[in-house]
Structure formats: structure tokens, C-alpha cells
Amino acid sequence: MNGDTLLRAVPDVFAFVRRDGTITDLLGGRAVPILRAREGVAGTRLQQAFDPQAGPAIARLVRRGFASRKDCDARLTVGADTYDVRVSPQGPDRALCIIRRRQASANDDDAWAADAADAAAAVRARRGFARRLADAVADAALRETPLAVCLIFLEGLADVGRAIDFAIADRVGTELLRRLPRTERLPGRASWTVGLLGESVLGVLVEGRTDRDALLGLARELCASLAGPVALCDAEFYVTPSAGVAILGEDATRPGQLLDHARSAMLEARRAGPGAVHFYSDTLPMRPLARVDFGRELGRAIADGGISLRWTGRYDLESGRLLALQAYVRWLHPLRGEVAPAEFIAVADATGQALDLSRAALAQFGAELPVYDALHGGRIDVSFGALRQHLASGLLERDCADLLARHPGARGRLELRIAERTLAEMARPDRTLAALAALPAAVVVEEIGRSFSSLSRLGHWPLRGLQIDRATAVASARDEGARRGCRVVAAIARALGAVAVAPGVDDGAARERLAALGFAQGLGDAFPAVAGGTPGAGAAVSGDRDVGAALPAAAARQAPESRRRRGRRTPT
């Protein structure tokens, strides 16, 4: 992704300003007419760069921000236009100034539908689709004609709006709608109607065919047409669709019930992964009960000490020197074998056990720390991944302080990995991050690329490193869009004075490629195994995908079989 080109296309103004009002860098501003010019602004004063009425007002807000050392917001009216202005101080002599032009309010669904009027399909807003569905159900009952509803979730579209700009998200959505196939291309020439049922949900009303093979072919064709990158502003945006289908007569007899059952099938398809298609069945309502029972088993494992860790080394990509040990939570189920973290962490989150899980993992981390310190001389950093609830509860600072009191040798070496989405969802993480830094505990933001956070907020936080999402790092071997994303993350890390970390360094080619893309450190199978383990535990295994753990002896005996069953790994 070309970050500079993308920001130039963003409607808002992003300007870095010194205390005296001099602009050091400016990006964006496509929809801010009070900005006199978008090029050659660096080095000029705010009063010179903006409209004579706006420039002095913005400069006063900048001075107020520096004086208060807090974010300052104001609303500015120039002529017929109104602007929201925010100044965020970023140190003693630099502030980020964001200026956004306010638009007249409108119904979002209707606006997107109007933008897509020239798309291949006639797209209805939510109310229009609901009326069409009610009429179609009544007509189908009268004429005994087939009818089905397919709901498609567009994973990632909402993140574009939250992270970059809602206008760009609308443009991405419009491009996706233009990809929809025409009715005559669908199996059996079934007629269909598309509606916007939410920020990221498309509804498709299918009339004329309800045999499952035809509906499956339709849903897959629609998902295939919506998948793949959307090129915009020299950047590529990825949206991954998944679909759920419910059939009138078989699954429901009323419009609302039909829509609810299609939504249940869609949610199950989202759990299955990108591109999945699920039909509603009577067993779907039972699956949440099975997940609740699974949650009970997880709760017993947390209470009985059944949660363990696995450790992997993080290395300097150039020299190959071991720099840190990263610990990941694992659960060896007595019957299932090793459960994928992506599965049990989601269950812990949904059942309110994530805080207990994270605290149990941190306690295990403290118990194993002396063993690893003894083996590695206490010279390298040790890294723990905290779950969102642990951070939000305020207990993470206290638990880390207790750990450092028990292990004073870890002071200055303790590192906490926090997912980007976790920080993005917190309203005010600044106090928590500052408290962690005072312990001291360094912070690394991981899974960069799986969600989006505010760059202005990243600049405020005391961060040691940024760790890109593993999928993006691996995809950089074959995908130019992923390589651009890697370069952007590495550049952001350098600009923040943080280290850029890449997982997925599984061979020499990956090591060379990711180093060339700007990453300084990495973890993966290309590096040797780290020494470690508790007495009677299994040996450590190299790599960030299949790494050894300090396990109880019984768990270690299950490890070979569990590794064969292991699914996709998600760190704590």
C-alpha cells in the first residue's frame, strides 16, 4: 500500500505543526476548500496555508493545545461550510492538526444505494428491501413459488471507514456492487433483488429457484464476485465475503423469521472463514449450546491449572542473534488434543472468561520465567501477550507489578504484546500504557494489518515495537499488495522510533524478503529452537507456528499427537 498516495486522496487535512504555527508536513485535504494549496505547504505558517478567516483560528487552537498539553477540539464555520478541527500535541514542539469538513446528514443506506445506481444490480436500501421481502413472501405463499434469502457479510469494509475515511469505504462498497453479476448469469435465471441491510451486510432475495445446488452456486458466485482486492488511490482494499442462506417453507414461513434464520447461517459462515456458505438448519440453534459447554470445559481448565504456555524466539533478521522469548497460551484438552487458540480464546471472550484466562497465563509466565532466565542468562527480553479484558480491567498493571516484585531481574526486560484491535477499541488507553511503561514494561503492538487503528494515537503511545500480522507477512512472498503493506508498517515503526517485527520467517528466503521490506526482527522456523522448559516438561520446538512449551509431564506426552491436529494459531 502506498501510504502517502492514499493519504493524499483522503478528504481530511492531516498537518504536523510546530509550536510557532509552522507546518512541517501536510497530507490529505481533498475536501477542505479552505486549504489554499496541497503542495509546497511545508515550511509555511498556518495563516499562509489556509483561508484568511480560518488560518488564524487554527493557529490559536494549536497554541491552546500546546498550553494545555491536551487534545483540543473546535468547530469552525467559513462561509457556508463547517469544519471540525482537532489539535493533538505530540511532544513539546509538535502537534497533529486534523481538519474535517462536515457534510449534510443523510441516510447512509440510501446514500450508498444512490452512489451505486449505475451498478450492475438495482440496490435497495434497508426499508425498501424489507418491503420487497414482505411482498415476495406474500406472493410466494399465494402462488406457491420458490423463495430464499441470502445474506452476505463483507468482512473488512467497516474497518476501512473507521481507519481511513468513510467516504473511501463508500467508494470501495460501490466498486463491490458493480462486480455483482447480472440476473441472466445466475443459475436457472432466477430473479433477484439486492438490499443494504447494514454497514457490511448485503441481502439477496432470490425468486424462482430454491433447490440447494442452485442456491449454493448463486451464493458462491456472488461471494466470488465480491472477493479480491479493490484498487483505489494506488492502494488495494481487501474485503472477504461469507454467506448464509434460508429457504421459505423449509426454514421459515414469515419474512422476519426468514431474515433471522439467514442471519444465523451467515454468522456460522463467518466463523467458518472467508468465502464460506452455510444453509440454515435446525441444528444451528444447538451449536451455541455446544460452545457454552466448551466454555465450561475451558473454565475448569483455567481453574485446575490446565492452561500452559509455549515459547518462541524472536531474532535479529540480519545477525540471527536471539533477542527475546515470546510466550503464547495453549490448551491441551484431554480428549480433543491441542485446541487452536483462535477457537478457545474466542470462547473465553464470549463467555466472560478471557480475564481469568489471561491472568492464569501470566501466572504461568511468572512460574516459568526463572527456568528460561537460568538457561539464557537473564540477558534477553521476555514477552507476554495480554488479552483485551486483562488490559481493560486495570488488573494488568497490578499483575505485572507483582510479577516484577517476585522477579526483579525482569525489570527492563518485560515486554507486553497487545493486539492492534484491542488498542483501537479502547477509548483512552493512554493512562494504561503510561502506567505499564512506568513499571517498567515495554509494549509491542502486534497483529498490525488485521484491523486498523489511528496513526495519530499510535504517535502518542510509548511503544517498543510493531508486529505485523502473520498472514500479511507470509502473503508478501506472492502478493504485491501484501508487500506494500509490509513496507508501510515497517516505515510507520521507524517513524515512531519502534522496532518492526515480522512473524512467519520460516526459511531463508522469507528472512531475506522481510529484511528487505524493512523489518528488523522476526520469528519463525528459519531460526533455531530456543532452550527452555520446566523439569519434566517437553522440549522446545523452533518456530512461531510450532513452538515448544513448558508443560506438565502428562501434557508433554500428548504433544506429538496434538501438533498434528493443530489448527491456525492466534497469539494471546
Output the nine-digit C-alpha cell for 443.
509494549
Is the Cα dihedral 332, 334, 337, 340 positive or negative?
negative
pLDDT tens column, 23-69: 998 877 777 888 887 777 888 999 889 988 889 989 999 998 898 88
Total length of the chain = 572
Lowest mean pLDDT among 208-212, 367-371, 528-532, 560-564: 560-564
Is residue 359 pLDDT above 50, yes or no? yes
pLDDT of residue 156: 82
Contacts of 301 (CB under 8 A, 6+ apart): 307, 331, 333
Output the nine-digit C-alpha cell for 52.
484568511
Is residue 539 pLDDT above 70, yes or no? no
pLDDT tens column, 227-282: 878 877 556 777 889 999 999 888 888 888 888 888 888 888 887 777 889 898 76
Lowest mean pLDDT among 138-142, 157-161, 258-262, 291-295: 291-295
pLDDT of residue 293: 66
pLDDT of residue 176: 84
Give the residue, 289 or 223, on which the prediction is more confident: 223
- Please report the domains of the chain, with CATH numbers, ordered by start residue: 3-101 (3.30.450.20), 108-284 (3.30.70.270), 289-565 (3.20.20.450)
Mean pLDDT of 142-150: 82
The average confidence (pLDDT) of the chain is 78
Picking from 71, 112, 117, 108, the residue whose alpha carbon sits closest to that of residue 90 is 71
Q: Distance from first CA to last CA of the chain, Å, rounded?
A: 28
pLDDT tens column, 380-429: 899 999 888 898 888 999 999 999 999 998 888 999 998 888 887 776 77
Lowest mean pLDDT among 68-82, 92-106, 129-143, 431-445: 92-106
Q: How many CA atoms lie within 13 A of 541 on its CB side?
A: 15
Give the residue, 204 or 3, on which the prediction is more confident: 204
Its pTM stands at 0.51
CA dist 133 and 252 (Å) reads: 13
Give the residue, 48 or 285, on which the prediction is more confident: 48
Q: What percent of the chain has pLDDT over 70?
A: 79
> How many CB atoms are closer than 10 A to CB 414?
21
Q: Are 501 and 466 in contact (CB under 8 A)?
A: yes
Is residue 351 pLDDT above 90, yes or no? no
pLDDT of residue 44: 92
Most confidently modeled range among 191-205, 292-306, 511-525: 511-525
pLDDT of residue 125: 65
pLDDT of residue 405: 92
Lowest mean pLDDT among 193-197, 297-301, 465-469, 552-556: 552-556
Is residue 113 pLDDT above 50, yes or no? no
